[in-house]
Amino acid sequence: MTPSSPVAAPVADAAADAAELPAAVGLGGTDNASLRVFLEGLPAVDPVGVEARAAQLATRSIKKDTKRALIDLAISMVDLTTLEGADTPGKVRNLCRKAVQPDREVPGTPSTAAVCVYPDMVAVAAEAVAGTGVKVASVATAFPAGRSSLEVKLADTRLAVEAGADEVDMVIDRGAFLAGDYATVFGQVEAVKAACGDARLKVILETGELATYDHVRRASWLALLAGGDFIKTSTGKIAPAATLPVTHVMLQAVRDLFDLTGVQRAVKPAGGIRTTKDAIAYLVAVHEVAGPQWLDPHWFRFGASGVVNDLLLQRRTQTQGHYSGPRYVSVD
Amino acid sequence: MARLTVAKTYKLYLGGAFPRSESGRTYQVHDTKGSLMANAALASRKDARNAVVAARSGLATWAGATPYNRGQVLYRVAEMLEARRADVVELVVQSRGVKVAEARAEVDAAVDRVVHYAGWTDKLSAVFGGANAVSGPYFSYSAPEPTGVVAVAASSASPLLPLVSAVLPVLAGGNTAVVVASQADPTVAVTFAEVLATSDVPAGVVNLLTGDQAEIMPWLASHGDVNGLDLTGVPADQRVALERAAADTVKRVHSPRREPDFTAAPGTARLRAFLETKTVWHPVGGISLASGSAY
Amino acid sequence: MDLTYAPALESAAIAAIKPRYQLFLDGAFVDGGGDDLTSVNPATGETLTTVSTASAADVDRAVAAARRAYDGPWSRLGGAERGKYLFRIARAVAERSRELAVAETLDNGKPIRETRDFDVPTAAQHFFHHAGWADKLGHLGLGPAPRPLGVAGQVIPWNFPLLMAAWKIAPALAAGNTVVLKPAETTPVTALILAEILADADLPPGVVNILPGAGDVGSAIVNHAGVDKVAFTGSTPVGKRIQSELAGTGKKLTLELGGKGANIVFADAAIDQAVEGIVSGIFFNQGQVCCAGSRLLVQESIAEEFLERLKRRVETLRVGEPLDKNTDVGAVNSQMQYDKITGLVEVGAEEGAGVWTSSCTLPDRGWFVAPTLFTDATASMRVAREEIFGPVLTTLTFRTPEEALAKANNTPYGLSAGVWTEKGSRAMGMAAGLKAGVVWDNTFNKFDPTASFGGYGESGFGREGGTAGMAAYLDTDDEGAL
């Protein structure tokens, strides 16, 4: 299935274009008044409608080869994450080994996309995954609350990038967003993006605190226009974390941006994705809401840890022809 | 020398005015002793057509009025009918040769019937509608709405009560009416139209034709802009053709199988006959994102 | 990644379709006097099964059986016990839901996703809901003790074969009537599986009789002197004929006929959900829905962008094998329907309505119609006025709410309408002004047994569901007492 509407050729990772995006979508300026006009002029989201659509798409029945392919794709999209106060170098190294080779006993199992850690663990992780293709992502900007000064957030970001992070997962200032101070959020994302250098920036909206789909849509556009390479649902520290309908709204945002400008951006639901069934439901949504070109680890990620083992179990079931059990895959 | 009385010309009631039949036709109405009571307008096909136009144009105002307002207007009809009680009693006596007491009883019952329906206007939604307990995140309600333009063939069982009993439920529901009066009793019917005309009933809400029901009703039954038919006054053997004609535009037809007892306490069948149930759905949600996690 | 979904076929064997089905008459499965009919799987064009049909004599027998049941056991039973039968039937429908869903898909051509998630569960819900009314008739607002009418003759269409049977049978029985029902000629199977459920439920013989056949059987039922109540769902021309035939008989009649529903999108709508609602409004059940939102009225200021989004969404509809769990749009029901739809599409093209068709590939057999939009229609075109009853949407534009209302109401029909706006006052205002029996604000094609459904004008009269739906099966003609 190919989309019918003519679209501009995608500009991959259009960092250079970031500065031009606001003008391309008709944003008048980055002051609060202009941002309000643009963001609050976006079409509303009907909550019941989007939830019904998400639920219906989740009933897609994915079988056989498609299921095998999507399991591998899902594994390759995972940002394998540990974000605990009790994280140690040993824990992080174990996680990295798991990311590189999730299932030692089953050859051909893909690596995950990245490991995701706190800034002070980036160096450990970078060393552990060096040369494997697995990326190191670091949360930053006073994660998870984001309640600090911009200086601290930028310092946090630089700490991560200088330690070798390929990707930075920042949090937006939800307080500023909810207070209508869109310019502060925009400015912070823009500044953090600048501090990232070559690292890709994931902007965590913390949708559970935004509380409405209209807010999710506005925050998505705000983050995208300010230069975020990804929009990401959640820190994993707030319930609800990622949900299918919230992810629908975010997928629609990147799709709309793409249709409008030809610039493709990525989405990362995080938290709450625990089973293979969950993961496949998300990938069906990626396929049918955003489009097939998002079915790539560069354009879609899962922020998760537990889901990997379920994906591995299902992968074994698919390849071995019988059900496996949790004792047969490693707990790291 | 006795004073020469001033005889009244009985005309049609269309769009709030009292015109003669466009055909210029009249018919003579006699009392039971055979004396000439009046010349009444013998309404034509074109009068019926004009009546439907008037009823359609009156519909937006009447259906759009608040139920409380409709109730007040209808109650005003009762007040004005009560005020014209003596006139109407006299006309009923003349028309049917009944005793004054019997005529009074009929007029009193008619006034009370108007009051009864005046009290219905703002109860219909509660009794024939309500919130639907649907199994999903939606607010759904059903509410009665007027069918539209209703053509009524008034029964000639007696001069006034059957007419009032047929017209008032049509009006209470917010419909407008084209009424073909009992051929024998145009004086009573037109006097009732005068009551309506002086009761804040907007123009076009009731349009009264006098003359031959058998001539006029087929035009109304087949009229594309008539939504409902009340055939109470039509003899059983004439109903088949009218009901067939009504089928061409899927009209709602009220054609009671039994001869109504007009003196009995009214039920709701006449009201419901010209009400449409509209069901409206609207999503309910938007308070939090939590519900979405349960996909 | 180029993703194609592997087939996810529901097994046809689950339906356990028999080689031949018989009439359900007076509690027994018997051969009828009519010629056998062949039911065809619309997705393949192949014969699904053979069905015995009723003759005029069978209609006599069925009406007599229904009368005996009405005069005898069914009326003696009392509301509470009647209700228990209906509860029992509701449960049995749920228990055999998978079988019913597959059978419905095989017989009708609609996707298994719909039969599984909508037709069958909603049918069970209708029985369950109406079961509870059986001993509460005095609470309907129709007087203290409304009485059943007697024998109900019911004729149902092919677009929701099982669900329409449930819509008809459940309120009829709850009110205390007995039933003679004719399923549609092209889709008799699930009604006859329902007959097995009724028999298994030990429903007294004659309470429900199911007589397959063509229009002649339907005509014999509705015109039978022993029938007291007629309920018909189907086309407006047939409805008019029935109303005409019943003139002067005093039979209580309800009609649920055609429609040309307007789905109105304002510029301030939640656009993505409006797109979904338009899609569901016209492509649900291949558009073979009397209340389909077959006229899109979109505000001119967003029309171009909206149509682009709509087309993109329609391109993602998966058209094909109805038994595949991932199919969104299945086969239309018959050659006749296929010819009618494609014929009207040609008419629209000739009228210059601007045809756009999904690029989906259609199976090389069976009756499949690609989702189609008329992107540039005007109000006078046939495709803007006539019911197409297929996956074909006609698009018109408007500038102001008043114009939208006028255009929406500019039809002799009046069954359904949709309104998409974030402005609450306008949503309510439009709902009030639309001459339609069902108005969906920011949603579409929602049904519930508690919510009355039925039309204005030439979409019919009487309601199904809710208290108004019960009134259709009760003697509330209190004219004797006025």
Start-end of CATH 3.40.605.10 domains in chain C: 12-257+459-481
Compute the mean pLDDT over every residue in chain B, rounded to the nearest whole number.
Answer: 95
Q: What does the pLDDT read at residue A4?
A: 37
Beta-carbon separation of C3 and A287 below 8 A: yes
Domain count, chain B: 1
Q: Does B140 touch chain C (CB under 8 A)?
A: yes
B contact residues 34-63, partner A, Cβ 8 Å cutoff: none
* Of C256, C321, C387, C458, catalytic: C256
Query: Which SS3 state, helix, strand or coil, does residue B138 take?
Result: strand
Least confident of B107-111, C144-148, C159-163, C457-461: C144-148
Find, in chain B, the residue whose alpha carbon is nearest to that of A53: B295
Q: What does the pLDDT read at residue B294?
A: 36
Q: What does the pLDDT read at residue A331?
A: 82
**Is residue B54 in some structural domain?**
yes
**Is residue B2 in some structural domain?**
no
Mean pLDDT of C115-121: 98
Interchain CB contacts (distance < 8 Å): A and B: 52
Question: Is C291 a catalytic site residue?
Answer: no
Mean pLDDT of B242-263: 94
Compute the mean pLDDT over every residue in chain C, rounded to the nearest whole number.
Answer: 97
Average pLDDT per run of 10 along chain A, which is 332 residues long? Answer: 37 56 92 97 96 95 95 98 97 97 93 98 98 98 97 98 98 98 98 98 97 97 98 95 96 97 97 96 98 98 94 91 87 78
Q: Does B143 touch chain C (CB under 8 A)?
A: no
Beta-carbon separation of C316 and A44 below 8 A: no
Break chain A into its structural domains and give their ranges.
Answer: 38-320
Judging contacts by C-beta atoms under 8 Å, the chain B residues touching residue C478 are: 267-269
Among 3.40.605.10, 3.10.20.340, 2.60.40.10, 3.40.50.1100, name the CATH number for the domain at C12-257+459-481: 3.40.605.10
The residues, any chain, with a CB within 8 Å of residue A258's CB and separated by 6 or more, are A7, A10, A264, A265
Beta-carbon separation of B134 and C456 below 8 A: no
- With 50 as the cut, is the pLDDT of residue B295 above it? no
**Is residue B8 in some structural domain?**
no
Mean pLDDT of C91-109: 98
Q: What does the pLDDT read at residue B293?
A: 39
Question: Is C305 a catalytic site residue?
Answer: no
Give the CATH fold of the A38-320 domain: TIM Barrel (3.20.20)
More confidently predicted of A14 and C438: C438
Q: Does B139 touch chain A (CB under 8 A)?
A: no
Judging contacts by C-beta atoms under 8 Å, the chain B residues touching residue C250 are: 255, 257
When scoring B142, B150, B242, B284 by the number of chain C Cβ atoms within 10 A, the one with the most, hence best to mutate, is B142
Is-contact B220 B178, C-beta < 8 A?
yes
Angle of the C236-245 helix axis to the B236-247 helix axis, nearest 10: 170
**Is residue B240 in some structural domain?**
yes
Partner chains of C (3+ C-beta pairs under 8 Å): A, B
- With 80 as the cut, is the pLDDT of residue B137 above it? yes
Q: What does the pLDDT read at residue C480?
A: 54
C103 Cα distance to chain centroid: 17
* pTM exceeds 0.90: yes
Find, in chain A, the residue whose alpha carbon is nearest to that of C114: A56
Provide the 10 A C-beta neighbour count for residue A9.
Answer: 6
C contact residues 140-159, partner A, Cβ 8 Å cutoff: none
**Is residue B239 in some structural domain?**
yes
Is-contact B40 B186, C-beta < 8 A?
yes
Q: What does the pLDDT read at residue C143?
A: 86
Start-end of CATH 3.40.309.10 domains in chain C: 262-449
Query: Which SS3 state, helix, strand or coil, does residue B108 take?
Result: helix
Q: Does C480 touch chain B (CB under 8 A)?
A: yes
C contact residues 249-278, partner A, Cβ 8 Å cutoff: 268-273, 276-277
Least confident of A318-322, B105-109, C335-339, C402-406: A318-322
B contact residues 21-50, partner C, Cβ 8 Å cutoff: none
CA distance between the termini of chain C = 72
Positive or negative, the CA dihedral A156, A162, A165, A166 is positive
Q: What does the pLDDT read at residue A330?
A: 84
B111 Cα distance to chain centroid: 15
The residues, any chain, with a CB within 8 Å of residue A41's CB and separated by 6 or more, are none
Q: What is the pLDDT of residues B87-99, one digit of tens each?
A: 999 999 999 999 9
| Domain with B176 in it | 26-284
Q: What does the pLDDT read at residue B291?
A: 55
Percentage helix, strand, coil, to 5, in chain A?
50, 10, 40
CATH number at residue B146: 3.40.605.10
When scoring A1, A68, A248 by the number of chain C Cβ atoms within 10 A, the one with the most, hence best to mutate, is A1
CA nearest neighbour of B78 among B168, B159, B208:
B168
Beta-carbon separation of C479 and B136 below 8 A: no
CATH no. for C262-449: 3.40.309.10
Query: Which SS3 state, helix, strand or coil, does residue C46 take?
Result: strand
Decide: residue C429, CB within 10 A, 0-12 exposed, 13-18 middle, 19+ buried: middle
Phi, psi of B151 (to 5 degrees): -95, 130
Q: What does the pLDDT read at residue B289?
A: 85
Is-contact C321 C363, C-beta < 8 A?
yes
- With 70 as the cut, is the pLDDT of residue B54 above it? yes
Is-contact B266 B118, C-beta < 8 A?
no
Beta-carbon separation of A55 and B295 below 8 A: yes
Beta strand spans in C331-434 (E): 355-357, 372-374, 392-398, 416-420
